[in-house]
Structure 1
Amino acid sequence: MSKKGVDFANSKNFTNRELSWLAFNDRVLEEARDKSNPLLERVGFLAITQSNLDEFFNVRVASLRKMVAVDYVTPDAAGLTPLQQLAGIAKDAHAMVDKQYSTWTRSLAPRLDELNIHLLTPDQLSPRQVEFCRDYFVQELYPVLTPMGVDPTRPFPFLANNSLNLAIRLQRPEDKDNAAGDDKDEKNRSFAMVQIPDVFPRVLRLPDGENDFILLENVISKHLGALFVGAKIRETALFRVTRDMDLDVAEEDASDLMKEIQSQLKKRQRGKVMRLEIDANMSKFLRKRLIKGLGVEKENDIYAIKGPIDLNVLSKLVKQVRGHDELKYPPFTPYLDQHLVSGNLFDQIRDHDIFMQHPYDSFTPVVEFIHQAALDPQVLAVKMTLYRVSSKSPIISYLKLAAQNGKQVTVLVELKARFDEENNVHWAQELERAGCHVIYGLVGLKTHCKLALVVRRDEDGIRRYMHMATGNYNDVTARVYTDMGLFTADTEMGTDASNIFNMLSGFSEPAYFNKLVIAPLGIRDFLKEQIDAEISEAKAGRPAEIRMKMNSLSDTEMILALYKASAAGVKIHLLVRGICNLKVGIPGVSENITVHSIVGRFLEHSRIYYFYAGGAEHLYLSSADLMKRNLSRRVELLFPILQDDIHDQICQIYQTLWDDNVKTRVLQPDNSWARVDRRGVNPLNAQETFLEQAAAKTAAQAAHKQQEAPVDPSSARHFTPLTAPEDQEDDE
């Protein structure tokens, strides 16, 4: 029980958001170091840590820098000012980079070499490979490369975000002889740069060895003399710049939002430098020229790299390796319930709710839902929110088809989806050209909810059919993100869904919602009410329990509510993949809270909120994490699970995830994350368990189909797989 006077909001009770994120990326890095993972998958995990870190500097570090620039000194919940956070980030990020490259140079690269998968340097090439590189440079690269000298008549050029460049120290005839390369005599040296063009693959396959590769920059560096005829190349060193890529969009007039987004996309590449990665062997001369030319403000912003700069390249290496399937995860086929694609999907949804867990269940029925709506003459309208979609989205094609077939199609395209802005602008324009009504959401709010609504004239009247989900309508990421979705024709939820779209497209302000809960209007208060109800149960001496699964937990108000519940005796189990600002094991505050985190083959993305509720066991799925941005600055959706069998299935999924003892890390009172002690227990990998269950269902379905022999072969139904219609629009 809590004691009177406990200060739940004490800064010592919180972890900083940014440092917690870096701890999450370290858990991803641990997967690259885990020898139980297939080798090429470990290399892939290492590449993911680089991609994650790039975006972190692009956005989070950039945001803190802006706060410092305007003298914002208010501390966060953990008591750290923006300047203190930047100092902590620099310390942990530098340690992480060291760990990344020691993982590559000491563990992964040597193991690849043992298996004859080689990333070679120029001095390791065979004569035939040398000839190949020379020919490739002359025939392919030389016409494209542009040497950029820097002197009083040629200013330091602009270098785009994440572009790779070679810094070059050279000696021209007009320079005094400085063959010794004395760094003290800077006046007698010339400085130039060459950008590594991204129109060529960075990983080049070499002849002779089946899996011999070389990086593009090494080919260019070896032949730089051809670009500086008459000069002597004294030194070359690779470097990479990371810039502020956060959009700053004014939304006074939503009708101009698309133009504003397009304008900001052009400006974004010219953001301030957040990080400079350089070859660890770079001389002081080149280093000083880059710092001055790029306007690097602090030494902490410079990362000396002992290996290939930009480890994203490793994901490209993995894709090019021939053979060695044993070094990758075994392929899997998601379970596809044939009833959902072979018959009328609306009849089935009207009969009962349908639940799917991706990627173990195929995403095809979600695509088919929109496809059948486009073709069904009884369908009157289709309404949908799109946050992130794939570059060749079949859903977009079917929405266009629905409009062409005379349906009323309304699509909310979130233009402010970070790093998908350009893609979403393109799709918004495509949909408008096809006759869809495209809306861009509410001023000041991102629309992050995942909701599709089909209005159909059934024999007994108008009925609404819905799909609601925890993840995006993206057929590509649905193969690698774990998400949950629900088809339902529940009347009250349908009314709520219509009200949500009316709110998004017009000036409607619903007085209340029947069963659905949305942010920013209600999810925070609704969850706090559920937590308070558990507190009341605990204080009355009855069982009280909360289970939650989310990507991130950083909202201070929600953490305080959980602390109060813990102090009252409520048992709280949290599955948090990423950021967790909550601390465990604080006497009188969080002794009843346990936090698990899973990083595995698939990205854990589903959100589950469960409350014991005196035995009624209220269960909800949501698009929202417990972050301030989700609860206060986004349109999010939380929906109840009312069908008993689906309720039980999701509870079992949660329990399997909680019981995982292979990939789980458990948050400790000192903020470290520890593996589960498996001594004396059988290993349980939750994601592998779900894959096995999906395979078993697929096998059972195939066996059942084989046993069903139609009495009259002429009466057997034959189904042709549905494919996306050809996109008739010109590529622009």
Structure 2
Amino acid sequence: MTKQISQYVNRDLSWIEFNRRVLEEAQDERNPLLERAKFLSIVSSNLDEFMSVRVAGIQDQKRAGLTKTDFTGYTPAGLWKRIIKRATSMVSDQYSTFRDVVRSLEKENVVINKIKDLNETQKKAVSDYFHEIVYPVLTPMAVDRSRPFPLVHTKELYLAVLLKRDLKAEEEETLFAIVQVPSILTRYVPVPGRLNNKKQEFVLLEDVIEQFIDTLFNGYAPFSVHPFRLTRNADLTINEEGAEDLLEQIEKELRRRRWGNPVRLEVAKGMHPIALETLREELEIEDNLFEINGPLDLSFLLRFVNSLPGHDNLRYEKLEPAYPREFDESDDMFEVIRNRDVLMYHPYESFEAVNDFVLQSAYDPEVLAIKMTLYRVSGQSALVQALAKAAEAGKQVTVVVELRARFDEERNIAWARQLEKAGCHVVYGLVGLKTHAKILLVVRREQGTLRRYVHVGTGNYNDNTATLYTDIGLFTSHPTIGGDASALFNEVTGYSSPYEWKAFGVAPTDLKDKLYRLIDRERINAKAGRKAHIIAKMNSLSNQEMIDKLYEASAAGVKIELIVRGVCCLRPGLAGRSDNIKVISIVDRYLEHARVMYFHNNGEEEVYLSSADWMTRNLLKRIELICPVFDPDLRNMLIKMLKLNLNDNVKARELKPSGLYEHVRKESDKPFRSQFEAGHIPYWKGHV
């Protein structure tokens, strides 16, 4: 008897399919070679986060004996087995691809060597490097009756070492020790070139340490040295209700993250059985063991590629973001925004315009207040510096800093303290709700009245990711949006009765309901025989109720086109349910990050920008917003951008009813790559 297919795709299995699409970019020989290496690095980083958060949570449920199925039909134990099977297969393919990339790099005179393959001059240089730089920071940690197993830090690289006093004595006791490979040192070590040879040669730091491991154990003979790496549960458990000081509570939880339960153990293939059994027993790893045929943790490849001199022919052509032409026409950004709304498309247009706007606001004597949200900020944030200058100039500066932005908590704590020191009012949001909305409000005195200037974005206020992610930003002085922006900050920073939003939809109070109303309007139009069309672009779609709402609209005849980069639990192509829904995913040079929604509305087209994906956490457990684009020219620009994505037949994959993805392009099709077309600003923005 054939098992009936579920109406939904499991979220975690969908994520694995997403990471496999990233891996396909590393495998695609049409991509420049060094960019393929970067994609390999991204696969590793993605898998680390997935294991430490999602898989860790499933492990906790399994250990607690939970047997209830989720809405996709999986129990924790059943899902665990499926995840491990698929992840193991993906990692095997990842390292097969790595070996292929390494072979191709060798043809381009970039070589990651084994120490035994170096000449004597190079070996001498490596020896000097070890003894002068590496040896002083190493700490061997023995494990015996008097010294218990040491703390193994999450996602750090270690060497497991087996030793004896005398290798010839068969009855001699085998001893066990570990050595941490210092992450403060670069993972790849350059070695001097050979005479009359253009090769750039490197060795890996763990190989260097292994070569000289005997220097750490005087009087003992190491006979087995193999790398290993542990991933721990990294999800923070914060009792916000009982936390008098949220910042202090998060700092405490960050320290506790070091002792999170082990989730995954990676070991080098061929590890000695005694060492492997010791690690599994001490770390309590049951069935999430990965034996790796190659260097552990390929995330080092990103830094390796970025620091490698030359070889521009093996990289994407460098993109120089254009400064928005609207702001080139005047030195006064307020004048420009007062006269018209301005739309920016990153990374094709420069994020510097946002920095400049805040900086101009900081020095403008007519600016009275600046309010903004910060979720993920870059290491050297010009925005933070500008906000500090504004506060020092006596302006009212309020910054909502989200301390719980996963894996950026420590950086955000540092920025919060710096802003407070400069005189800014720093708010840590509402209890139980992450502040994920991306909004900036400037209040300015003009001719005896106050005018509000607003920037709303789909991405974080982070000038680094603005060069790597595709995102949309809107500058406006529209009074309705300005009024909603003020109300939003009042709700987040103070006490405020529920507000009747004029333009925004705001989670968790009414964003979901607003989206429902917009979808239902299309459904009603379709039932009345009118044209009905929805296009929605986002990172993830996993909320069951939202999926069911889309199914209802599809069944009524609404044409629905979804551009979902990552997780998608909606299953298209189900007869009578989702046969009017098409889902594509684009994985390319830049991370597709913008959230944009289009509704045909019987010809009165509406377009919205949003900070929120259609996931339960975004719709119900975060402060998010959806903002309309009122300017008809800008609406048309965004519709053109969405159609660019929908016409992609090079990097787009279509989700099939099976839950798997297939490339869109047919051999007869003329190649159309949306990210490369979008790079020509006149194409989508209508510039002359």
TM category (shorter chain) comes to over 0.9
Residue in 2 aligned with 1:335?
Answer: 322
Shift of 1:682: 1.6
Shift of 1:151: 1.1
Residues 253 and 455 of structure 1: CA distance in aligned 2, closer, same or farther (over 3 Å): farther
Residues 320 and 211 of structure 1: CA distance in aligned 2, closer, same or farther (over 3 Å): farther
Give the partner amino acid of 1:49. V
Q: Once the two structures are superposed, what CA deviation does each residue of 1:689-719 show, in whole Å capped at 9, x if it has no partner?
A: 1113369999x89xxxxxxxxxxxxxxxxxx
Shift of 1:27: 0.2
Shift of 1:72: 3.0
Shift of 1:279: 0.7
**Within 5 Å, which residues of 2 pair with 1:92-111?**
92-105=86-99, 107-111=100-104
Residue in 2 aligned with 1:169?
Answer: 162
Paired with 1:338 and 1:52, the residues of 2 have a C-alpha distance of: 36
Shift of 1:316: 2.4
Shift of 1:677: 2.8
Shift of 1:338: 5.1
Give the partner amino acid of 2:626. L
Residue correspondences, number:
680
Residue in 2 aligned with 1:717?
Answer: none
Residue in 1 aligned with 2:207?
Answer: 218
Paired with 1:665 and 1:126, the residues of 2 have a C-alpha distance of: 47
Answer yes or no: is the 8 Å Cα contact 1:334–1:694 preserved in 2: no
- Are 1:152 and 2:136 counterparts? no
Q: Once the two structures are superposed, what CA deviation does each residue of 1:237-295 show, in whole Å capped at 9, x if it has no partner?
A: 11001111110111015651000000000000111111000011112111001111212
Residue in 2 aligned with 1:121?
Answer: 114
Paired with 1:353 and 1:372, the residues of 2 have a C-alpha distance of: 18
- Are 1:267 and 2:267 counterparts? no
**Within 5 Å, which residues of 2 pair with 1:565-644?**
565-644=553-632
Shift of 1:194: 1.0
Residues 433 and 616 of structure 1: CA distance in aligned 2, closer, same or farther (over 3 Å): same
Give the partner amino acid of 2:174. R
Answer yes or no: is the 8 Å Cα contact 1:254–1:440 preserved in 2: no
Unaligned runs of 5+ in 2: none
Paired with 1:615 and 1:319, the residues of 2 have a C-alpha distance of: 48
Shift of 1:176: 7.6
Shift of 1:364: 1.1
Shift of 1:666: 0.7
Shift of 1:33: 0.3
Residue in 2 aligned with 1:240?
Answer: 229
Answer yes or no: is the 8 Å Cα contact 1:43–1:315 preserved in 2: yes
Paired with 2:596 and 2:654, the residues of 1 have a C-alpha distance of: 19
Answer yes or no: is the 8 Å Cα contact 1:196–1:216 preserved in 2: yes
Q: Once the two structures are superposed, what CA deviation does each residue of 1:331-358 show, in whole Å capped at 9, x if it has no partner?
A: 1111113552651111111111110010
Paired with 1:692 and 1:193, the residues of 2 have a C-alpha distance of: 53
Q: Once the two structures are superposed, what CA deviation does each residue of 1:58-110 show, in whole Å capped at 9, x if it has no partner?
A: 111111122223333322111111222111111111011101001111x2111
Answer yes or no: is the 8 Å Cα contact 1:75–1:82 preserved in 2: yes
1:143 counterpart SS class: helix
Paired with 1:156 and 1:553, the residues of 2 have a C-alpha distance of: 43
**For 1:693, which of 659, 666, 681 is the aligned residue?**
681
Shift of 1:679: 2.6
- Are 1:324 and 2:311 counterparts? yes
Q: Which moved more, 1:633-642 or 1:534-543?
A: 534-543
Q: Which moved more, 1:539-548 or 1:302-311?
A: 539-548
Paired with 1:670 and 1:80, the residues of 2 have a C-alpha distance of: 16
Q: Once the two structures are superposed, what CA deviation does each residue of 1:91-136 show, in whole Å capped at 9, x if it has no partner?
A: 111011101001111x211111111110001111111111011111
Give the partner amino acid of 2:173. N
1:118 counterpart SS class: strand
Answer yes or no: is the 8 Å Cα contact 1:551–1:625 preserved in 2: yes
Answer yes or no: is the 8 Å Cα contact 1:29–1:100 preserved in 2: yes
Paired with 1:434 and 1:677, the residues of 2 have a C-alpha distance of: 54
Q: Once the two structures are superposed, what CA deviation does each residue of 1:594-614 show, in whole Å capped at 9, x if it has no partner?
A: 001000000000001111111
Answer yes or no: is the 8 Å Cα contact 2:324–2:344 preserved in 1: no
- Are 1:201 and 2:186 counterparts? yes
- Are 1:304 and 2:296 counterparts? no
Residue in 1 aligned with 2:542?
Answer: 554
Answer yes or no: is the 8 Å Cα contact 2:41–2:302 preserved in 1: yes
Paired with 1:65 and 1:281, the residues of 2 have a C-alpha distance of: 27
Residue in 2 aligned with 1:473?
Answer: 461
Residue in 2 aligned with 1:76?
Answer: 70
Paired with 1:165 and 1:267, the residues of 2 have a C-alpha distance of: 20
Give the partner amino acid of 2:284. G
TM-score, with length taken from structure 1: 0.91
Answer yes or no: is the 8 Å Cα contact 2:637–2:684 preserved in 1: no
1:13 counterpart SS class: coil
Paired with 1:494 and 1:11, the residues of 2 have a C-alpha distance of: 48
Residue in 1 aligned with 2:383?
Answer: 395
Give the partner amino acid of 2:82. G
Q: Which moved more, 1:234-243 or 1:75-84?
A: 75-84
TM-score, with length taken from structure 2: 0.97
1:98 counterpart SS class: helix
- Are 1:44 and 2:32 counterparts? no
- Are 1:432 and 2:420 counterparts? yes
Paired with 1:234 and 1:375, the residues of 2 have a C-alpha distance of: 66
Give the partner amino acid of 1:622. S
Answer yes or no: is the 8 Å Cα contact 1:661–1:683 preserved in 2: yes
1:518 counterpart SS class: strand
Residue in 2 aligned with 1:25?
Answer: 19
Q: Once the two structures are superposed, what CA deviation does each residue of 1:413-441 show, in whole Å capped at 9, x if it has no partner?
A: 00011001000111111111111101010
Give the partner amino acid of 1:321. L
Answer yes or no: is the 8 Å Cα contact 2:459–2:594 preserved in 1: yes
CA RMSD of aligned residues (A): 1.7
**For 1:191, which of 154, 164, 176 is the aligned residue?**
176
- Are 1:368 and 2:361 counterparts? no
Residue in 1 aligned with 2:271?
Answer: 282
Shift of 1:470: 0.3
**For 1:488, which of 476, 481, 486 is the aligned residue?**
476
Paired with 2:682 and 2:442, the residues of 1 have a C-alpha distance of: 28
Q: Once the two structures are superposed, what CA deviation does each residue of 1:509-536 show, in whole Å capped at 9, x if it has no partner?
A: 2330111110011111111111111111
Residue in 2 aligned with 1:141?
Answer: 134
Percent identity for Structure 1 against Structure 2: 45
Paired with 1:400 and 1:75, the residues of 2 have a C-alpha distance of: 50
Residues 566 and 695 of structure 1: CA distance in aligned 2, closer, same or farther (over 3 Å): closer
Answer yes or no: is the 8 Å Cα contact 2:228–2:265 preserved in 1: yes
Residue in 2 aligned with 1:520?
Answer: 508
2:454 counterpart SS class: strand
